[in-house]
């Protein structure tokens, strides 16, 4: 009962802040809603027994990426509102309707698995509390090569971002 | 009240993903579009953690770390492109980014 209450509260906050992110007129407000959304998603990870991922979510997303967005919003001085010029060929409403149809399909697929008998989908159990050690062990043994590739990707992205943001491009 | 199953997490993840898709398609401010892409990546992460919890296996959490890496790289390069574009055209409206469109 308490578990269900916690899940529904977190889900409501996550979806509510997600909608606020894409509907806010002011970009800085949008970024603030994004921070709140990331924090609630981190709470959902902690609730599911994934403490390391929750900490990564807070540190990398809410601490790093969002600050990057804020700096870009400060550097980009919007002399005219970004929504002023409209492309006549853009079909925003049609896109929204098609997205909602896709959402209905995804929910139907998930719910079909739920209501069909003998589906063999057990309820979620709490993972053992030492799974930080398990994640670290997997990351440095079985997934060592992808781990190194991810570090290379971050290095290349850093160099690319510096080159793109230079003044004499 | 029905107990919380992975299906609940899948529905939450799908709803958050579609929120991001709608943001990409409806908004014209490119910074908001990049934020919508972050929302979509977070929806994928919710799914990965839910299935990691379901199968009692930490591999899902390892993949979440890789997805976070790719998201950080994407944000850095994307915002660099926004800065370079803004320096040339003084706008962040994607409807005015028509240089390579016919």
Cβ contacts from A onto B, under 8 A? 241
Name the residue in chain B with its Cα closest to that of A95: B25
Closest CA–CA distance from residue B102 to any residue of chain A (Å): 12
pLDDT value at residue B90: 79
| CB-based contact B77 A83, cutoff 8 Å | no
HEC assignment per residue over chain A: CHHHHHHHHHHHHHHHHHHHHHHCCCHHHHHHHHHHHHHHHHHHHHHCCCHHHHHHHHHHHHHHHHHHHHHHHHHCCCCCCCCCCCCCCCCHHHHHHHHHHHHHHHHHHHHHHHHCCCCCCCCCCCCCCCHHHHHHHHHHCCCHHHHHHHHHHHHHHHHHHHHHHCCCC
Closest CA–CA distance from residue A124 to any residue of chain B (Å): 5
As a residue count, chain B comes to: 102
What would the pLDDT profile of A21-52 be if each residue is shown by its tens digit? Answer: 999 988 899 999 999 999 999 999 998 888 89
The rounded distance, in Å, linking the Cα atoms of A15 and A28 is: 19
Name the residue in chain B with its Cα closest to that of A43: B46
Name the residue in chain A with its Cα closest to that of B7: A110
Select from B1, B7, B22 the Cβ nearest to the Cβ of A96: B22
pLDDT value at residue B66: 94
Q: Sorting pLDDT into bands at 50, 70 and 90, what band is A1?
A: confident
Q: CA dihedral defined by B47, B48, B50, B52, rounded to 10 degrees?
A: 160
| CB-based contact A110 B14, cutoff 8 Å | yes
**What residues of chain A lie within 8 A of the CB of B68, using their CB?**
56-57, 60-61
Mutate to test the interface with A, among B13, B66, B76, B88 (most CBs of A within 10 A): B76
What would the pLDDT profile of B22-71 be if each residue is shown by its tens digit? Answer: 999 888 888 999 999 999 999 999 999 998 888 888 888 999 999 999 99
Closest CA–CA distance from residue A15 to any residue of chain B (Å): 6
What would the pLDDT profile of A7-23 be if each residue is shown by its tens digit? Answer: 999 999 999 999 999 99
Select from B10, B18, B72 the Cβ nearest to the Cβ of A64: B72
| CB-based contact A139 B1, cutoff 8 Å | no
The rounded distance, in Å, linking the Cα atoms of A148 and A144 is: 6
SS3 B3: coil
| CB-based contact B4 A3, cutoff 8 Å | yes
Name the residue in chain A with its Cα closest to that of B50: A48
**What residues of chain A lie within 8 A of the CB of B66, using their CB?**
146, 150
Percent of chain A with pLDDT over 90: 45
Closest CA–CA distance from residue A86 to any residue of chain B (Å): 6
**What residues of chain A lie within 8 A of the CB of B89, using their CB?**
none
């Amino acid at each position: 009962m308490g578990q269900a209450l916690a899940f529904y509260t977190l889900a409501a906050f996550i979806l509510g802040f997600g909608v606020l992110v894409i509907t806010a007129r002011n970009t800085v407000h949008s970024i603030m809603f994004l921070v709140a959304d990331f924090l609630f998603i981190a709470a959902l990870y902690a609730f599911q027994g994934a403490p390391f991922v929750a900490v990564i979510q807070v540190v990398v997303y809410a601490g790093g990426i969002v600050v990057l967005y804020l700096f870009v919003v400060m550097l980009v001085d919007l002399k005219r509102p970004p929504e002023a010029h409209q492309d006549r060929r853009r079909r925003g409403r049609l896109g929204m309707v098609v997205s909602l149809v896709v959402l209905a399909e995804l929910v139907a697929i998930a719910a079909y698995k739920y209501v069909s008998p003998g589906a063999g989908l057990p309820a979620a159990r709490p993972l053992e509390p030492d799974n930080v050690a398990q994640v670290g062990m997997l990351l440095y043994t079985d997934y060592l090569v992808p781990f190194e590739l991810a570090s290379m990707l971050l290095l290349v992205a850093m160099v690319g971002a510096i080159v793109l943001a230079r003044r004499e491009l | 009240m029905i107990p919380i199953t992975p299906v609940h997490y899948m529905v939450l993840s799908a709803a958050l993903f579609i929120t991001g898709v709608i943001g990409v398609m409806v908004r014209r401010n490119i910074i908001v579009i990049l934020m919508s892409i972050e929302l979509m990546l977070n929806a994928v992460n919710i799914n990965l953690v839910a299935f990691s919890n379901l199968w009692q296996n930490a591999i899902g959490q390892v993949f979440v770390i890789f997805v976070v890496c790719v998201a950080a790289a994407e944000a850095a390069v994307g915002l660099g492109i926004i800065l370079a574009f803004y320096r040339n055209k003084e706008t962040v409206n994607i409807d005015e980014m028509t240089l390579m469109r016919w």
